[in-house]
Structure 1
Amino acid sequence: MRESNFAFPAQNRACVCISSQLYDRRALDTTSALPLFNSLSHLTYLTSTSPRIREILTFDGGLERLAAGAPADVKNFDRAAAYRFSLAFQCVANIGVRGSEPIRSRQAAEIARALERARQIQEASTLYHAVQPAAPPVNLPRRPHHHHHHHHH
């Protein structure tokens, strides 16, 4: 079980990451998108398979961190952020669904908060992306009968 530390030249400090063997609470506090994404990916696996990890998360503040993990400002809410939050939410859901009875009752409020947050974000990002489509729609169905004649002046 070796720690996977990635050094980021920009910050010039090691960044702790969660791997499929290693859980480290500090990894959830990073603001670097990619390491956080990697950690969350592994954590969805850990929270679905390990009762121990689910328990630790409810004691070390990790669950609260995950529940709060979405950006407040939807305008800066890109697809990567949405995806990271959906991973964080998956972790919370795993704890909510698979956690032991004591865990679920102790964390009911936190889990409910994450659910509510996820719903708001879903709405907000849907609205936001409706206003600003990321890619042009492909294969628009052509309407029959309505042929536009271009008038050349």
Structure 2
Amino acid sequence: MSDVQKTKAKEETKKEEVQKVLVQEDQPEYQEKIMFLVSTSFQAAILTWCLCVLSLGYLKLPNRMFGMDIPDQPRVDSTFAAGLLGNILAGWGVSVGGGGAAKKKKKEGEGNGAIPTGNGYQTIIVKQPLELIAKPAEVPRVDPITNRPIDPVTGKLV
């Protein structure tokens, strides 16, 4: 065998090895695609089941259908279906009820009768017949120089 034939034979074996490697790399990718499709199909089936169970919780069947009497059915507890639905949607990146924490922080102090003051909150109580009672803030004001409390009515040191 000449050197040219030897190099051609080596190149052919290298090409065959490269093709084998490519085939081996394609095979797991194909398997991953199949697993993705199977898992997505199961998730879609479970999602459909959850939506049906949740929808049936709001429906009431008639007493008679197709000439048959239907007995009263007990209400379906849809907690499990709602949990599965939330987990599947979260896995797909859908956030149900997101941003609630930001709304809570924004509304903090609103609606409870508290009025923000300089150093705390002042609570106003309204009674019938109309009698206004204002309670001072829980934290008394303190003089920064003498560290003595300040009377909230007169403003003098106590």
Q: Normalising by structure 2, what TM-score? A: 0.23
The structure where strand makes up a greater share of residues is 2
Q: Normalising by structure 1, what TM-score? A: 0.23
Report which structure shows greater RCO (CA 8 Å, sep ≥6): 1
Larger of the two Rg values belongs to structure: 2
